[in-house]
Chains A and B, each alone.
Chain A
Amino acid sequence: MEESHYLNCKSRAQNYNPPVDLRLLDYVSIYDNNLMCAICRCPFVDPVVLSECDHVFCRDCIRQSWNSNTSYTPLGPRGDCPTCRTPAKLGPRSATSKILVNLVDELVVHCPKRDDGCKAEVRRCEVQDHVNIYCGYTVIECTDDDCTLPVRRKDAAQGCLHFGVSCLSCHKELQKWKLEAHWRSECADRRVHCDMCKSSVFYRDLEAHRKEACPAMSVSCPGKALGCTSRSKRGHAELHAKSCTFAKLAPVLLKQQERLDEQEAAQKEMSRKLEVLEGGFQNMQGILYPPGVETSQRSADNSLTPSLQERLFGSGTAESTTPTGTAAGYDWTESAVDEDAVSPAETMHTAFSSATSPRQRAAPLPPGPRPADLPEPFSSDFDIASPTGFPPPATNGGPYASPLHHLLSMHESLRDEMTRVSSALSELDGRHSMQILNENLRTREEISYLAAQTAGLQRQVHWLTSSALQRQQGRSPTPGASSSGAGGAMMDAGAGAGVEAAVGAVSTAATALRGAARMVNVGGNGSGSGTGTGMRRGTSEEGRTKL
């Protein structure tokens, strides 16, 4: 009776505890790779050696591999070796497989109930016995005679534990015998130890703790983007940030980078605007100074100024170096002194005579001996204090101490006048362009109005023509008109031709008007300030070619 009860128990226990799947076991130590089945990647379970190629697999693995891709064969399981694709079939167990069996049987594994709390480590061949007979975490039938519910073997001595309790932490309702497992692995409110910092935290908070609070978690320096590669534990990160230049700079540089990006964008915008403006400016210049009109005068101005300044400056230095007489400049000074009597005046003279402008010609150079106090007129004081206004050279030539003096003052006043003239010119230009723009607008309006009118006219004429044609067609098939038909038709034809000619004229007028409108448009777009008629003709010519 006792024995039968035990057997009964055991069979039912096995019901609760199915045979251990050896492939799901965790191994205590690292095993040799040669003991690993290539299919299940576990140490062999019931290994077989394929006699055709000597590759070894678990019996179940090779069977399933063959079953899944070949239909049933009456000659027993056969197929290709999964590793080398040699056709093979399962033979009887060989000596090789016996050695392999012994090797894998000796491997030490953790009890499959390890997650439930069993700390046993057993040889793989004994693991089934451990679970069936010894393991305290194996589920068996309750020892209470009236109860058939499962209970863990180690708790069986405590009597029936199949009554409801609630977890103290999370208040979940469950049976007493499950409470321990609940506490171990399920309860969200159980306390667990953070494996980084060893502090005890709620299981539900563990992830957040690891991510945000754990002082042992290593975090990278805030200056990582700037190149600091340091990683330190969160607890030490602040310490590092205090000493790390990168970390201190990071917020500042970040802001700077933002501003830099902003500025860059703004600059791009500006440069685009500038380009547009430059284009407009160049157009304007092209209109203001059309090639061949004012070029000669301008070039004269341009050529005069640098040459004159150059010469003045050159002789000025020559004179000023004379008193000091440095060793390096000696030869040069010497030669300048030798030609003292004539050369500066001569150079001035050539300078002015080489200039083509008639205004410069109007100031004749009175030839005469150069005065002794030559350096004085070249001093900078003189330039600033030079008399303003334009002195007429013919009448006011007298009061000047020297011809050179006179010339210089003349040059000064000329320059002033030039700037005045140029500013006046630009002002005039602006006004002119405005005027033209306004005029353009008006003209365009007029033209569009005219175009609309012409279109209306065209429609009217068209209507008239079509009605005339209809009338003509209605008349020709009448039998009475056959005698005078020829003449009538001729007359009608003539009238039709006339009307058609009129229509043609109107439509050509319309196209001409459209062309004119486009012309004005081109003129307006291109410059906004077409001055001369020649210019306008030029643009209209351009417009026509575009048409």
Chain B
Amino acid sequence: MASTMASSANASSNKKSSAPSSSTNNANVIKRLQSELMTLMLSPTPGISAFPSDTDMTRWSATVLGPSSTPYENLTFKLSLAYPSNYPYAPPEVLFTTPVYHPNVDMAGRICLDILKPAGKGGEGAWSAVLNTGSVLLSIQSLLGEPNNSSPLNGEAALLWDRDQVEYKKKVLARHQEPAELEANGS
């Protein structure tokens, strides 16, 4: 009886004082994400922005500006980030919501990037708990300009990158949709 009352008391009082359980973990994740958001707002990095969704603090949407003097120059890319409940010990799941033509991005927007894979498994993952939203977005931005052609998700793009930059840029522009178009298309 007392224990049920205790749990109801916990639920009614703020989450902050609840027991170390999955909900605390979640509170810790939210706390950390709030801290990250604060940092992003107070010292914004040019070309990068991220904001949580209205309803779920663990789902963010972000925009990344294509790096200059690359085929992605002046293009804006939207991404979605989903943080697991054991963040920051596991990496967020990052997807491009803008269609991107890139050797390391597939048609569904999945990104092949070492820091987005959990570390220790097979050695190719390089996620670290000290990484954060800002550093992840920066890595993705630089990946746009410096693709890793040794393990491409899009083989055609990898070949074309090395062979014909003009044609590559054409393909990039053909695939790209500005955020406004994307919304207009209802996707």
Contact = CB atoms under 8 A, between A and B. Distances in A.
Nearest to A19: B20
B14 A115 contact: yes
A18 B17 contact: yes
A68 interface: yes
B154 interface: no
B77 to A, nearest CB: 26
Contacts of A17: 17
Contacts, number: 87
Interface in B1-51: 1-2, 5-6, 9, 12-14, 16-20, 24, 27-28, 31-32, 35-36
Given A65-B129, A68-B86, A21 B16 contact: yes
Contact of B13 (A23, A39, A80, A139): A139
A15 B10 CA distance: 11
Interface string A84-96: 0100000000000
Contacts of B128: 65, 82-83, 85
Pick from A15, A20, A80, A82 the residue with the most CB of B within 10 Å. A82
B35 A82 contact: no
B57 interface: no
Contacts of A24: 16, 24, 27-28, 31
B14 A116 contact: yes
Contact of A61 (B1, B20, B129): B129
B163 interface: no
Contact of B130 (A82, A112, A149): A82
Contacts of B125: 69
Interface in A1-47: 12, 15-18, 20-21, 23-24, 38-42
Pick from B13, B19, B128 the residue with the most CB of A within 10 Å. B13
Interface string B62-92: 0000000000000000000000001011100
Interface in A176-208: 178, 181
Interface in B133-152: none
Nearest to B32: A41
A142 to B, nearest CB: 10
A220 interface: no
A347 interface: no
Given A21-B16, A21-B27, A41 B129 contact: no
A442 B164 CA distance: 62
Nearest to B131: A82
Nearest to A139: B9
Nearest to B120: A69
Contacts of B153: none
A516 B120 CA distance: 83
A244 B2 CA distance: 66
A444 interface: no
Contacts of B90: 68
B119 interface: yes
Interface residues of B, number: 33
B89 A112 contact: no
B118 interface: yes
Nearest to A40: B32
A113 B12 CA distance: 12
Contacts of B86: 68
Nearest to A115: B14
Contacts of A61: 129
B135 to A, nearest CB: 11
A39 B9 contact: no
Given A23-B31, A69-B118, A178 B17 contact: no
Contact of A12 (B2, B14, B88, B120): B2
A69 B27 contact: no
A70 interface: yes
A69 B121 contact: yes
Contacts of B18: 18
B129 A39 contact: yes
Nearest to A116: B13
B36 A70 contact: no
B24 A21 contact: yes
Given A21-B16, A21-B20, A149 B5 contact: yes
Contacts of A12: 2
Contacts of A70: 120
B31 A42 contact: yes
A285 interface: no
A64 interface: yes
A69 B90 CA distance: 9
Nearest to B16: A24
Nearest to B3: A15
A181 B12 contact: yes
B60 to A, nearest CB: 16
Contact of A115 (B16, B28, B31, B89): B16
Given A39-B88, A41-B35, A15 B16 contact: no
Contacts of A113: 13-14, 17
Interface string A105-116: 000000011011
Contact of A23 (B28, B119, B130, B132): B28
A546 B32 CA distance: 76
Contact of B129 (A82, A148, A150): A82
Contacts of B13: 113, 116, 139, 181
Nearest to B29: A40
Nearest to A137: B13
B35 A42 contact: yes
A459 B140 CA distance: 73
28 contacts: A15-B2, A16-B6, A16-B9, A18-B20, A21-B20, A21-B27, A21-B28, A23-B31, A38-B129, A38-B130, A39-B88, A39-B130, A40-B28, A40-B32, A41-B32, A41-B36, A41-B132, A64-B129, A68-B90, A69-B119, A69-B120, A82-B128, A83-B130, A112-B16, A112-B17, A115-B16, A139-B13, A181-B13
Leading 4 A-B pairs by shortest Cβ distance: A69-B120, A38-B130, A68-B89, A41-B35
Given A69-B118, A150-B9, A181-B13, 10 more contacts: A15-B6, A18-B20, A21-B20, A38-B130, A40-B28, A40-B31, A42-B32, A69-B120, A112-B16, A112-B17
